[in-house]
Amino acid sequence: MYAFNEGAIPVVDPTSADGIYSLLWLIIALPLAGAAILLVGGRFTDKWGHLLGTLLPIGSFGLSLALFLDLVGRDEADRQVSQHLYTWIQVGGLDVGADLLYDPLSALFLLLITGVGSLIHVYSIGYMAHDPRRRRFFGYLNLFVAAMLTLVLAENYLGLFLGWEGVGLASYLLIGFWQHKPSAAAAAKKAFVINRVGDMGMSTAIMMLFVTFGSTSFTVISEKAGDASDTQLTILGLLLLLGACAKSAQFPLQAWLLDAMEGPTPVSALIHAATMVTAGVYLIVRSNFIFELAPHAQTAVVVVALISIFWGAAIGCAKDDIKKGLAGSTMSQIGYMMLGAGLGAAGYAFAIFHLMTHGFFKANMFLGAGSVMHGMDDDVDMRHYGALRKMMPVTFLTFAMGYLAIIGFPGFSGFWSKDKIIETALADSWLVGICALLGAGVTGFYMTRMMLMTFFGEKRWEKDVHPHESPSVMTGPLVALAALSVLGGIMLAGDWIQDFLAPVVGSEAHDDPPLPALAVTTIAVLVVAAGVALAWMLFGRQAVPRTAPQDVSFATRAARAELYGNQINDGLVVTPTRHLVGGLLVLDKRGVDGTLTGGATGVGALGGLARRAQNGFVRTYALSLLGGALLVVLALLAVNLA
Amino acid sequence: MNVTAYVVLSGILFTIGCVGVLTRRNAIVVFMCVELMLNASNLALVAFARQHGNLDGQIAAFFVMVVAAAEVVVGLAIIMTIFRTRRSASVDDASLLKY
């Protein structure tokens, strides 16, 4: 344990970068250069663009790994390094530097982003091989990686916000990558608009941070956080939570994530499962110095997390589209991370731990789903799958590793990470803990359903579909991610991850849980087993119909409709906004335009009258000249005589 | 010296010119009436200069003469051109430049 600040909120106090750490900027610069070359270079780079676009993130990964190994070798108190690049903004009291902060938290994120990111780049070479716009796809992917790295490396909230918006842009471009499909274009727009709601929270939070602390730097704010009033800190926490909800697809801003599956599958794996959607969790963990002092905001985080766990799980249970099912699962799993982050110092490390393992197994399963779609002529309906385990052995085995990891099969990475969160939640309160436990059971149910419908049972394929295993450039990353899904739990060995993250998030042994840890684990495994068994009863023993049954309960209908999230948004926001805009339009046309054009018409009519004086007869002009002269003379006389 | 008679004469000449400009249609006559008005004012200027015993008014009269000469040149040229194109010297006929 990181003994000397047990229970205290750690302060960000980095040393200046030297030696190998002075290359920190290069981690962002490499993929950024890739994006610039591929997007500016245009079709001249078509031939080798995807190779360059893959090599650069791999380069970043190598550098991240070197830095990580060096950081682990350092003394615990000396594991925060900052690099000042240049003065970014200097206006009056606002002084923002382009500073990077490299500490255990960002180190782990760098490995996840560049590592999983590189694997997904490799996979995309195969997946996008037949797409005429593959070079552009890699350009966007590189742009995303660069923005995400900026997000986690920034030393102040403004830099973080730059990356935050960058990943939002990349996400928009990639969801709508197949822009010829109206559904993809609409999905991109939807993701962008919902994220603006969160950005409103983020930008307001940043302005408030500046007003309250006079700076946006983590170093300054973590030091001064105690000076702010409770109200200020609570408002700050809630605003940051709003930003996190939009980016991480948490209730109530979750509606965009399912539509985001319109993008190519590698995008869903990288952006909408492994990295970008976890940025909200990163934000909350990074802002631990605010949330630790704002218990009400922490409670809000827990509530949002619990709702999202079940909301996402319900969607995952009902969707027949394999990618949408996985998206619901992502929302639910991020709920677990948020739950960990909302539990305070006892849970931060486990939130990040689950974030890492989820990054592995969910990217694995998304890529597996992409591999299945590749073999099934881009059909995403699981009711048209079945019995694929023999046709796609590698995809099946790697998907199975991800499956066992996500349901929490003992020994697999997800088992360790989820178990720790459930244990911490139980220690916090009975209610939260039991909700987390139930959520794990539902996870077991919907993932088993997906597994059974896809790889087991009878063949339900469409005509003319000949499933085949994907090329090795696609299965290679699958194998690597499957290995990580199995072995990811190793980070917990000897409490390594808690100790490693302690300088950033502090450490705190949670209260004694009401049950011994082993009992909690056993119960969790039993609950999951019950979920798996139920799924087997429904989808393993019985044949799965090729079309979704229509005479189903209200709950199923609601879950298929994503719990009416879109309808709620439409009713509460979209329709009132439309009416408001319609009203404003009428007001603008009739009121504002009416006043202006009315005034102009009046002046014009007046001018038309005055114009009549200009009749072209010289003698009339002479007469008016005389009249004018007479008037002047009379006026002079009147003045002089008076 | 008493200048009343001169000023009265000047006023009469100016009024005749003024009425001429306003009532006659022939451009040449209108032009002559304008000259009449200019000379009426010249007479007034010279008369008042004599009364005050200085040369200011007389100098002003010379200026008016020079300007009037220049104006005659331009004015007659315009009248000539209009007459050539329209076969008319009536000022009311040249009324196209209007609203």
Cβ pair A264, A127 in contact under 8 A: yes
User: How far is the C-alpha of A248 from the C-alpha of A281, rounded, in Å?
Assistant: 7
Point out the domain boundary residue: A498, A528, A556: A556
Facing residue for B99 by CB, picked from A614, A618, A626: A614
A16, containing H or E segment: strand A15-16
Calculate how close chain A gets to B62, using CA atoms only, in Å. 23
* The pair of three-digit structure tokens given for residue A66, joined into one six-digit string: 């070197």
Query: Is A609 part of the contact surface with chain B (CB cutoff 8 Å)?
Result: no
Partner-chain contact A626 B96, CB within 8 Å: no
Of A424, A465, A418, nearest to A440 by C-alpha is A418
Question: Does residue A70 form part of some domain?
Answer: no
Residue A1 has a pLDDT of: 36
**Residue B26 gets which letter from DSSP?**
B
Residue A7 has a pLDDT of: 56
- Looking at the fold, whether A479 and A624 belong to one and the same domain comes out as no
- Looking at the fold, whether A378 and A429 belong to one and the same domain comes out as yes
Partner-chain contact B98 A622, CB within 8 Å: no
Query: Is A463 part of the contact surface with chain B (CB cutoff 8 Å)?
Result: no
Calculate how close chain A gets to B48, using CA atoms only, in Å. 18
The tens digit of pLDDT for each residue in A585-638 reads 999 999 999 999 999 999 999 999 998 888 888 889 999 999 999 999 999 999
Q: Which chain B residue lies closest to A609 (C-alpha atoms)?
A: B99
Point out the domain boundary residue: A532, A556, A580: A556
Residues paired with residue B26 on neighbouring β-strands, in sequence order:
B90
Question: Does residue A363 form part of some domain?
Answer: yes
Q: Which chain B residue lies closest to A622 (C-alpha atoms)?
A: B22
* Residues of chain A below pLDDT 50: 1-4
Q: Is A381 helix (H, G, I), strand (E, B) or coil?
A: strand
* The pair of three-digit structure tokens given for residue B56, joined into one six-digit string: 């200011």
Residue A4 has a pLDDT of: 41
Partner-chain contact A616 B22, CB within 8 Å: no
- Looking at the fold, whether A468 and A527 belong to one and the same domain comes out as yes
Question: Does residue A190 form part of some domain?
Answer: no
User: How far is the C-alpha of A474 from the C-alpha of A451, rounded, in Å?
Assistant: 20
- Looking at the fold, whether A601 and A452 belong to one and the same domain comes out as no
Point out the domain boundary residue: A519, A534, A556: A556
Facing residue for A616 by CB, picked from B23, B25, B98: B98
Question: Does residue A512 form part of some domain?
Answer: yes
Question: Does residue A315 form part of some domain?
Answer: no
Query: Is A86 part of the contact surface with chain B (CB cutoff 8 Å)?
Result: no
Partner-chain contact A617 B95, CB within 8 Å: yes
Q: Which chain B residue lies closest to A613 (C-alpha atoms)?
A: B99
Question: Does residue A391 form part of some domain?
Answer: yes
Query: Is B1 part of the contact surface with chain A (CB cutoff 8 Å)?
Result: no
The interface residues of chain B toward chain A in range 36-95, judged by CB-CB distance below 8 A, are 91-92, 94-95
Partner-chain contact A615 B95, CB within 8 Å: yes
Chain A CB contacts of B96 under 8 Å are: 616
- Looking at the fold, whether A436 and A467 belong to one and the same domain comes out as yes
- Looking at the fold, whether A542 and A577 belong to one and the same domain comes out as no
Give yes or no for a cis peptide into A252 (omega within 30° of 0): yes
Chain B CB contacts of A622 under 8 Å are: 21-22
Domain count, chain A: 2
Q: Name the strands in the sheet holding A81-91, side by side, starting at the edge strand that comes first in the sequence.
A: A15-16, A81-91, A94-102
- Looking at the fold, whether A464 and A398 belong to one and the same domain comes out as yes
C-alpha torsion angle, residues A84, A85, A89, A90 (rounded to 10): 60
Partner-chain contact A626 B22, CB within 8 Å: yes
C-alpha torsion angle, residues A498, A502, A508, A509 (rounded to 10): 20
The backbone region for A495, taken as left when phi is positive above 0, alpha when psi lies in -120 to 50, beta otherwise, is left
Cβ pair A290, A233 in contact under 8 A: yes
Residue A160 has a pLDDT of: 94
Partner-chain contact B22 A618, CB within 8 Å: no
Calculate how close chain B gets to A623, using CA atoms only, in Å. 7
Of A145, A519, A109, A506, nearest to A341 by C-alpha is A506
- Looking at the fold, whether A581 and A472 belong to one and the same domain comes out as no
> In b/e form, how buried is each residue of A242-268, taking b as 16+ CB within 10 angstroms?
bbbbbbbbbbbbbbbbbbbbbbbbbbb
* The pair of three-digit structure tokens given for residue B43, joined into one six-digit string: 């007479």
Partner-chain contact B21 A614, CB within 8 Å: no
Residue type, A192: F
Residue A2 has a pLDDT of: 41
- Looking at the fold, whether A443 and A524 belong to one and the same domain comes out as yes
Query: Is A629 part of the contact surface with chain B (CB cutoff 8 Å)?
Result: no
> What ipTM did this prediction achieve?
0.89
- Looking at the fold, whether A538 and A583 belong to one and the same domain comes out as no
Q: Which domain holds residue A454?
A: 338-556
Facing residue for A611 by CB, picked from B23, B97, B99: B99
- Looking at the fold, whether A502 and A361 belong to one and the same domain comes out as yes
Question: Does residue A51 form part of some domain?
Answer: no
Residue type, A589: K
Facing residue for B18 by CB, picked from A611, A612, A626: A626
Partner-chain contact A619 B91, CB within 8 Å: yes
> In b/e form, how buried is each residue of A560-584, taking b as 16+ CB within 10 angstroms?
bebbebbeebeeeeeeeeeeeeeee
- Looking at the fold, whether A486 and A425 belong to one and the same domain comes out as yes
Question: Does residue A599 form part of some domain?
Answer: yes
Partner-chain contact A618 B91, CB within 8 Å: yes
